[in-house]
Structure 1
């Protein structure tokens, strides 16, 4: 056993969740927390279901991600209960009997049909905070999602327990394995679909298990921020490759991005290296008490410094920021909270009682405005892109003279650059969860 073994850390994690739940219930005036795992969604006019996605509030307590029609019940002062749906079914694979590091901490009830849960749920439904989507309704048990309860739980979910951090480290290892396989496929001239398949094979997860759809973008496709088309023919010549892809570990996500230049494209490779160096400095700035909004603004200035050095813009980074030129090249936020969800909850929360911290003016896509605190895990993902529709807006706004358009023409076929790591916030130096995994993989190759 090691300090990163989730099995040894789970009991303390469960104690933390129980304390949070007890406080949340008190805030809302409820006696019980009831969390359905979620149900299958069926396509309209069809008997085919969409890929199942477990309720994040459920998998926070349990390392279970494929058990629809199950329930968690927490009552302060009592052992938590799991109502575990294990149907009689010869059409589909039935979930294995409960096992693993979590079972000794729960009273477990096996049910064979969803309706059997009704007799096991608390007696007074009005005294229950039921957290889930409307699709999870069972009989009269309709999720009510009371705001005081959700506000409290979501706010504190930003602070990761050692158990959660251990699983997120596992997700990093899986993700890096896939990234290295994807880079190798790119170097061998593969198309986007083949690169994607190499990634999935290396990670050991398919599209329904990965935390989000892989972004696998060759050449100018990297200028589409969420490009997921997976072309079946490699462009010629191959110039660049951007991959934004993660992995899952017992319901916890990784989210990693790297950009590569094809052999012989030295100037774009140099720009990637410059963005990478800037990104590492941004990661190092993550620490308790730092304003994440300021980190976003600082990223704009740093990236515009890169573009200035490469002759793409002709004005100062500060002028580029003030005139909106920087937003044309860096249109998204510097990152977001991550954990049970890729874009984790309560990124704008002013406190555990609600409220909202607004984004800086002119930056509508930043996903996290809370000050950084110890045990938060955030992504740091600066990027520069050559997106015609945004650059046209710069011209329309009267700032076209700020840009060297011949340099834009040179870099446009490469699409863009994004580098993304996950960083654990501490009271001292930032703990980059991603970089050491890449370094270890390279050293062991």
Structure 2
């Protein structure tokens, strides 16, 4: 990664954190990476995931018992955990593109951190962000103050050029892995084998993936968060469809990409093409000043138009949206903020000070209600599904007569379609990182 980009990034962060700490009345911020958790009735640990507020300050994603101590106006200090341990991998002391911007202390034991966190005279002006379990009696400061966290979450929506570079690289890695997964599908691989092909091409293990990969053949594509990964290879005659929702990591930043494929030509392949064109149209509509819920509503109208075009509904698109029929076929939100977390924070936040702007009552799963602004990064992921439980509710309702059930039954074995890209909003344009990587 470019050192100059990171230097600009950390300068922006320091200005941001200095202002937020002053506004909230703190001099010091102690951020804990976290500690591994032991599985219930076992002596093994769950996979470790670093506190995202720790990752926001320093690109260390895999080291527990570490701390960033940020004092207003001073160079941040990283307490980096390096025990003497012959059971586990111990990472080397950082010597990389970001190291010069931190003072380092190496910790041999977790409790060694106490000496650096503060004393009684400073704790009233010290804030702590992280999980407090196991830190009883430690001089950590005031734990997780809401006003401070709200401002940090709000600021996370505006990405620096360094963050954008990380997101582009995560997309590049993920797109290469998506191509490998499609090839495995065409070769008749099982869901488990397709996932292994994806991980191999990405060069990242399951614990580094930003989320559990969704690898769904045929009707499994109707399960929105399907992660079962069947080991069964389907006979070629039974292969119909493939949906994969999978990402990649770059210095803690996530890609989140979805593609749908037809095994052979026909109505389902045409449905994918229609959804793909529609998705690109929605990306083209994005602009600074547009309320994200308005884009979501337009997405529903466009999904309803496709349902009408393919003979699935026998009513107008406008009527299908007004009556709620479209929600049977698209039950989730259009997309979400993306960054250090896959569903990045602050999507429902009203202002830097906090507050919540809930999604419209008819669209409860919409993750973003903010107005689109420059520097923000989103996923755009319209879907169209044939979900048995939702279709059963619709069939038992007065709206059943508005649906061509023979057409629905013809599409059920394919599960559904979802197309998802990752985009950066610039002042005068929208950059589709995912499509750019595919074009390469």
TM (normalized to structure 1)?
Answer: 0.96
Match of 1:195? 194
Contact between 1:72 and 1:81, CA under 8 Å: does it hold in 2? Answer: yes
Residue 249, structure 1, aligned to residue 247, structure 2: no
Describe the SS at the equivalent of 1:247. strand
Match of 2:317? 317
Offset at 1:137?
2.4
Match of 1:225? 224
Residue 418, structure 1, aligned to residue 418, structure 2: yes
Describe the SS at the equivalent of 1:242. strand
Q: Which segments of 5 or more consecutive residues in structure 1 lack a partner in the other structure?
A: 441-445
Contact between 1:6 and 1:167, CA under 8 Å: does it hold in 2? Answer: no
Listed as ranges, the matches of 1:113-262 within 5 Å are 113-123=109-119, 124-135=122-133, 137=135, 139-141=137-139, 144-236=143-235, 237-262=238-263
Describe the SS at the equivalent of 1:92. coil
Contact between 1:24 and 1:149, CA under 8 Å: does it hold in 2? Answer: yes
Contact between 2:188 and 2:234, CA under 8 Å: does it hold in 1? Answer: no
Match of 1:19? 15
Contact between 1:115 and 1:138, CA under 8 Å: does it hold in 2? Answer: no
Determine the C-alpha separation between the residues in 1 that align with 2:118 and 2:68: 11
Determine the C-alpha separation between the residues in 1 that align with 2:395 and 2:173: 43
Contact between 1:38 and 1:55, CA under 8 Å: does it hold in 2? Answer: yes
Contact between 1:27 and 1:148, CA under 8 Å: does it hold in 2? Answer: no
Determine the C-alpha separation between the residues in 1 that align with 2:134 and 2:396: 49
Match of 1:443? none
For residues 94-124 of structure 1, give each alpha carbon's deviation from its aligned partner in whole angstroms, at most 9, with x where no partner exists: 1111110111111111110011111111222
Offset at 1:141?
4.2
Determine the C-alpha separation between the residues in 1 that align with 2:147 and 2:163: 24
Match of 2:428? 428
Contact between 1:394 and 1:400, CA under 8 Å: does it hold in 2? Answer: yes
Describe the SS at the equivalent of 2:104. strand
Offset at 1:404?
0.4
Q: Which segments of 5 or more consecutive residues in structure 2 lack a partner in the other structure?
A: none
Q: Which region of structure 1 is more displaced relative to structure 2, 398-407 or 115-124?
A: 115-124
Seen in structure 2, the aligned counterparts of structure 1 residues 138 and 92 have a Cα distance that, compared at 3 Å, is farther
Determine the C-alpha separation between the residues in 2 that align with 1:216 and 1:117: 42
Determine the C-alpha separation between the residues in 2 that align with 1:287 and 1:199: 33
Offset at 1:128?
1.1
Match of 2:33? 37
Select 1:82's aligned residue among 78, 83, 98: 78
Determine the C-alpha separation between the residues in 1 that align with 2:228 and 2:294: 34
Listed as ranges, the matches of 1:253-272 within 5 Å are 253-263=254-264, 265-272=265-272
Offset at 1:138?
5.9
Offset at 1:136?
6.1
Determine the C-alpha separation between the residues in 2 that align with 1:113 and 1:52: 18
**Aligned pair count?**
435
Q: Which region of structure 1 is more displaced relative to structure 2, 414-423 or 62-71?
A: 62-71
